[in-house]
Amino acid sequence: MQRVIVMGPPGSGKSTLARRLGAAHDLPVFHLDQAYFRPGWEPAPATEFRTEVERLAALPRWIIDGNYTDLIGPRFEAADTLVYLDLPAWLTMARVIRRLAASYGRVRPDAAWGCPERLDAEFLRYVWTWNR
| pLDDT digits 0-9 by tens, 2-39 | 999 999 999 999 999 999 999 999 999 999 999 999 99
DSSP 8-state code for residue 113 = T
Fold for the domain defined by 3-128 = Rossmann fold (3.40.50)
pLDDT tens, residue by residue, 51-90: 999 999 999 999 999 999 999 999 999 999 999 999 999 9
Q: CB under 8 Å, gap of 24 or more: what pairs does 108-113 form?
A: 108/15, 109/15, 110/15, 110/18, 110/19, 110/31, 110/33, 110/34, 110/65, 111/31, 111/33, 111/34, 111/37, 112/33, 112/34, 112/35, 112/36, 112/37, 112/38, 112/39, 112/41, 113/34, 113/39
Distance of alpha carbon 10 from alpha carbon 81, whole angstroms: 20
Confidence of residue 131 (pLDDT cuts 50, 70, 90): confident
Tally the residues of the chain: 132
In the prediction, which pLDDT does 109 show? 87
Q: Domain extents for the chain?
A: 3-128
What Cα–Cα distance (Å) separates residue 18 from each residue in 3, 15, 27, 42, 126?
11, 5, 9, 24, 22
Which pLDDT band holds residue 100 (cuts at 50, 70, 90)? very high
Phi, psi of 115 (to 5 degrees): -125, 80
